Amino acid sequence: MEILQTVAAAIVTLGILVTIHEYGHFWVARRCGVKVLRFSVGFGKPLYRWYDRQQTEYVIAAIPLGGYVKMLDEREDDVPPELRSQAFNTKPVGQRIAIVAAGPVVNLVFAVFAYWLMFVAGINTVVPVIGELKPESVAMQAGLQSGRELIAVDGHQTRTWEEVSLRLAARIGDSGELRLRTRELNGTNERELSLPIQRWQFDEQHGPLFTLGIEPYRPQIPATIGSLVEGGRAQQGGLQVGDRVLMVDDQSIERWEQLVEQIRNRPEQQVRLQLERQGRVLELALTPARTQAEDGQAYGYIGAGVQQVSWPPEMMREVRFSVIEAVPAAVAKSGQMIGLTLESIWKMLQGLISVKNLSGPITIAKVAGASAASGLESFLNFLAYLSISLGILNLLPIPVLDGGHLLYYLVEAVRGKPVSEKTQILGLKIGMSLLLGLMLLALYNDVLRL
């Protein structure tokens, strides 16, 4: 069932973004007098089709991994003389640029709308309060203290952990000083500290906070089983939802993190659990399965989830804007994400960011499913971010993508004549190879994350 939900969320997410992207091309093409032959969401065999009064065919196809708008074009089909004025290739270069750019631009505009909707609906979030600090970490050496709220990173206000992470992510690959401003929770005693960084790196698994030695504050979570994976070692060993683990072997357990640490350190090694179930103390034995992380390290895994606990009211915050206030907030958020995406691409080309950060369809599907399950706020946030990524990706000057066509048309606008067909075919081959290579690399990263 979970797999079906993930696939359904991915199809809905991609369907929305592809439809918006292609509608941008479609809408501007119609305004420029170009005859649109087909508007397809998906590739392959049509599952459903219909026509409008201008005989444009609308198609929902079987493979939901993209879409396209097919326009009348003399380079692709024979065009009757009476329709030549409606062919894409006969339009002035300025109109062709507008039609090609419209898809990515609409994706960026849609991101602003999604963020606006999210801000108007309101964001319920955890206050970014520092929890434990790792001994001898960069954060501890700089004088950071547990229990204080992180209110700014490099001079930018941070009201949520997401904003903290995004500001930190913007510094990946950098050297110099990272400025953090903190204050007492709900207080006014502010301090600013500088953390030295040198070609700073962090991986997707651990994130920037872990690299600095910062653990976000979390309420103490008892080692109570909240869920079990069907057929997992925990279920096979006799654990039940609601069980409170008291001891692992001879180690007393008070918090969930202690239980996780004990299990992770014992792959394929039998452990004895003492637990409380409905007022009775029981003992049982089980053997954690072995799972392997990207770094090659083996960890134990039993397939059990924690029972959720309530956060203290003072640790929760609602970020909400009025309909008018949400407009500049959404524009600023979109601008931040666009800047972060472009900067990440540039740093990846410089070798400052590992290509392991590239994600493909499997990761997109997993995140889409998780964000949809987490509620409207998370789904809108992911939808906006993916829309920005899709818009920027299509604007890259790679033949095959919209950005490649824009490059040709811009050169044509400057030279006063089209780029030669031979050059375009060569660019097409290079672009196809480059795009295929990126797709295979992203897919390889997806498989490693599994």
Return d(Cα 73, Cα 37) in angstroms, integer.
10
The CATH number of the domain covering residues in 225-308: 2.30.42.10
CATH topology of domain 123-218+310-319: Pdz3 Domain (2.30.42)
Determine the Cα angle at 186 with ends 379 and 322, to 5°.
45
Q: For residues 431 and 401, is the Cβ–Cβ distance under 8 A?
A: yes
The per-residue pLDDT for range 129-154, each reduced to its tens digit, is: 888 888 888 888 888 888 888 889 99
User: With 80 as the cut, is the pLDDT of residue 343 above it?
Assistant: yes
* pLDDT band at 357; cut points 50, 70, 90: low
Which residue is listed with tokens 């397809």? 40
- Per residue in 65-112, pLDDT (tens digit) is 788 899 998 888 888 888 889 999 899 999 999 999 999 999 999 999
Each residue of 383-428: pLDDT tens digit?
898 899 889 988 988 888 888 889 989 988 888 888 887 887 888 8
Which has the minimum average pLDDT: 125-134, 170-179, 194-203, 298-307? 194-203
The pLDDT assigned to 412 comes to: 86
Q: Which tokens in the block code for residue 34?
A: 């170009």
Average pLDDT over residues 170-197: 85
Q: Over 60: is that where the pLDDT of 450 sits?
A: no
Task: Assess whether pLDDT exceeds 80 at residue 430.
Answer: yes
Which residue has better confidence, 359 or 96?
96
Dihedral sign, Cα of residue 79, residue 82, residue 86, residue 89: positive
pLDDT greater than 60 at residue 362: yes
- Active-site residue, selected from the candidate residues 22, 149, 163, 343: 22
pLDDT at 447 over 70: no
Cut 0.75: pTM above it: yes
Three-state DSSP class for 440?
helix
Whether residue 262 contacts residue 245, with contact meaning beta carbons closer than 8 Å, is answered with no
Spell out the residues 6+ positions from residue 444 whose beta carbon is closer than 8 angstroms to its own: none
β-bridge mates for residue 284, sequence order:
273
Which residue carries 């049982």 as its tokens?
Answer: 284
Considering the chain, tell me which residue range(s) the CATH 2.30.42.10 domain(s) occupy.
Answer: 123-218+310-319, 225-308
Helix locations, 375-449, DSSP H: 376-395, 402-415, 421-449
At 230 the pLDDT is: 87
Arithmetic mean of pLDDT over the chain? 84
Q: How many CB atoms lie within 10 A of CB 355?
A: 12
What amino acid is encoded at 288 in this protein?
P
Q: Position 170: which residue type?
A: A
Whether residue 136 lies in the annotated active site: no
Q: Which of 202-211, 350-359, 410-419 has the lowest mean pLDDT?
A: 350-359
